[in-house]
A and B are shown apart, each in its own frame.
Chain A
């Protein structure tokens, strides 16, 4: 916005008192939020429960770590990682065509193809993952398989968006080089487009895997396999030492996966 010199010196009323308007709006929003929430219903046992949770976290149930039954912490964490890994691989494969569908061509901002593709990806992204998991449980029964399908479908929303942005921002030098020596569309795709974007695709997939590990830990709470099921069960039966060891397991798993994936991504890009 171009402003003439006189205007910038003499502040308009909006510049001077505009913040009052915004402050009033913010105030109204907070008053509305606070009066609408019923925050008083804290149960009487809250402090004793939190004490037992904290003592449970400091005295974890070490016997649960591994007992060879297949229902112990290590096997369930492996199962959780398997759900996240397989789901991410599935979604990475599905995301590629979605990404080409949703990628904008540089010449035009609005296009039926790319706008519709972006809209579909937003829809997938906003559809709650646990509802997807519950829907897949109806189809394949409770267990890890439903979790894999839920992660696989839900991740397309975000991966497709990241992939399409990678395509939009791609350096097209290699493509032009292949075109200029007479390559056809397939050759351009295989020799220029794919090698250029593949590292970014893999990097985004690894990033999405980090997120999928977190989702896989909670999908079990609705019955879709992994560590979430015994976690929810331990909370409901007030077995705090068990909750403590599962929390520790999840924290270690997530930290390990994050640093492994971060290291791999640094090597890639």
Chain B
């Protein structure tokens, strides 16, 4: 009984783990409800598993000759990602400065800018692609604009977080000798953030290369156009080549970008 006296006091709901139990029950109920809404049927999955394995077997025999045809669209995909990311980043930089709390003291402007950036970030890439294909027509332009807006949302957030973590010393030094706002940004902020900016730019480029491979599925240029064609024609041996080549390209871009980012840090 001595031991019991030394234990901390627990209220009755802590003692019976009521919080945990109710959370588990709520999660369980949500799972059951979601399963009903989504029409999940385990029997159907196991019943049709042979079709799925059949598809996998056909994909396991890639049509290697197809590589010569998809070389050009894969390069176009990378070009789209580079141009799109660059355009998005150019627009993101001024807004990142406007959203950083140590640059803009007015919380109204900052809040408004951040809310706008949040709104841009809510829209998924393929959704933007569908809209821009309707605007610009089928082709790489829609893809570049999609990637520009997509990377704008992402880069602006990453950049203003970088700006907010910088050392205040140089800024105060510049202020004390009477520098203007743009001079402060040029001489005290930019040298501190440049390496991290480049690093995040490369990271966004990585993500955009991955994203741009599927944008063409809706007509926005690049390898995705061929992906959609092969899937519609049930030509899975070609689909397999496209996926393998995409994986190879994404791996290579990741390796280059990781190497550069490690050098920058």
Are A and B interaction partners?
Answer: yes
Chain B: interface residue total (CB-CB under 8 A): 58
Interfacial chain B residues near A41, Cβ < 8 Å? 137, 139-141
Most A C-beta atoms less than 10 A away, residue of B34, B82, B118: B34
Task: Give the Cβ gap from B204 to chain A, nearest Cβ, in Å.
Answer: 15
Known: A37-B144, A131-B243. A50 touches B48 (CB 8 A): no
Report the tally of A-B residue pairs with Cβ distances under 8 A: 163
CB distance A138 to B52 under 8 Å?
yes
Task: List A contacts of B38 (CB < 8 A).
Answer: 79, 82-83, 86, 144-145, 147-148, 225
Interface residues of B in 71-99 (CB under 8 A from A): 75-76, 78-80, 82-83, 86
Query: Which B residues lie within 8 Å of A232 (CB)?
Result: 130, 218
Give complex CA distance A258, B250 in Å.
28
- Complex Cα–Cα for A83 and B36 (A): 10
The contact of B34 among A32, A37, A82, A135, by CB within 8 Å, is A82
Does chain B have a CB within 8 A of A215? Answer: yes
Residue B64 interfacial (CB < 8 Å): no
> Does residue B117 face the partner (Cβ distance < 8 Å to A)?
no
Interface residues of B in 169-214 (CB under 8 A from A): 210, 213-214
Is residue B247 within 8 Å, beta carbon to beta carbon, of the partner chain?
yes
CB distance from A107 to the nearest CB of B (A): 23
Provide the residues of chain A in CB contact with B51, threshold 8 Å: 138-139
From the candidates B122, B126, B137, B247, name the one contacting A42 in the complex (CB within 8 A): B137
B72 to chain A, nearest CB (A): 9
With contact pairs A43-B136, A49-B134, A243-B131 given, residues A214 and B124 touching in the complex (Cβ less than 8 Å): yes
Convert B139-156 into 0s and 1s, putting 1 for each residue whose CB lies closer than 8 angstroms to a CB of A.
111001000000000000
Q: Which of A29-46 contact B (CB under 8 A)?
A: 29-30, 32-34, 36-39, 41-43, 46
Across-interface contacts of A214 in B (CB, < 8 A): 122, 124
**Cβ < 8 Å to A, chain B residues 18-55:** 27, 30-31, 33-35, 37-41, 44-45, 48-49, 51-52, 55
Name A116-139 residues within 8 Å CB distance of B. 122-123, 126-131, 134-136, 138-139
Contact of A50 among B75, B78, B135 (CB under 8 A): B135
A19 to B80, CA, bound (A): 25
Residue A177 interfacial (CB < 8 Å)? no
Does A143 belong to the interface (CB within 8 Å)? Answer: yes
Secondary structure type dominating chain A contacts = helix
CA distance A116 to B84 in the complex (A): 34
In A202-240, which residues have CB < 8 Å from any B CB?
214-215, 217-218, 221-222, 225, 228, 231-232, 235-236, 238
Q: Taking CB as reference atom, which chain A residue is nearest B37?
A: A82
- Dominant SS at the B interface? helix
B50 nearest in chain A by CB position: A139
User: Are the C-beta atoms of A30 and B214 separated by less than 8 Å?
Assistant: no
Binary B-proximity of A243-263 (CB < 8 A = 1, otherwise 0):
100010011001100100000
Q: Is A96 in contact with chain B by the CB < 8 A criterion?
A: no
Q: Tell me, yes or no, whether B66 is within 8 Å of chain A by CB.
A: no
A window 63-90: CB within 8 A of B: 78-79, 81-83, 85-86, 89
Known contacts A144-B37, A225-B38: A42-B136 contact under CB 8 Å: yes
Contact B214 A130 (CB under 8 A): yes
Q: Is A53 an interface residue (CB 8 A)?
A: yes
Chain A residues closer than 8 Å to B49, beta-carbon distance: 139
Q: Assess A126 versus B40: contact at CB under 8 Å? Given A32-B79, A46-B136.
A: no
With a cutoff of 8 Å between Cβ atoms, the chain A residues found around residue B41 in the complex are 140, 145
Name B45's contact: one of A39, A50, A144, A149 (CB within 8 Å): A149
Of chain B, the residue at the smallest CB distance from A29 is B82
Nearest Cβ in chain B — how far from A79, in angstroms?
5
* Shortest Cβ gap from B264 to chain A (Å): 11
* A131→B127 contact, CB < 8 A: no
From B52, B122, B125, B135, contact of A135 by CB (8 A)? B52
List the A side residues contacting B247 at CB < 8 Å: 123, 126-127
B137 engages A46 (CB within 8 Å) = yes
The distance in angstroms between the C-alpha atoms of A144 and B35, with both chains bound, is 10
CB pair B214 A128 closer than 8 Å = yes
Q: How far is the CA of A128 from the CA of B136 in the complex (A)?
A: 25
Q: List 17 A-B contacts (CB under 8 A).
A: A33-B83, A38-B139, A39-B141, A82-B38, A83-B38, A86-B38, A122-B251, A128-B227, A131-B239, A140-B41, A143-B39, A147-B38, A217-B124, A228-B126, A235-B130, A251-B119, A255-B119
A-B contacts besides A85-B31, A89-B27, A131-B214, 19 pairs, CB < 8 Å: A30-B82, A37-B80, A37-B83, A46-B136, A50-B135, A82-B38, A126-B246, A126-B251, A128-B214, A129-B214, A134-B231, A138-B55, A140-B45, A143-B39, A145-B40, A215-B124, A232-B130, A243-B131, A254-B122
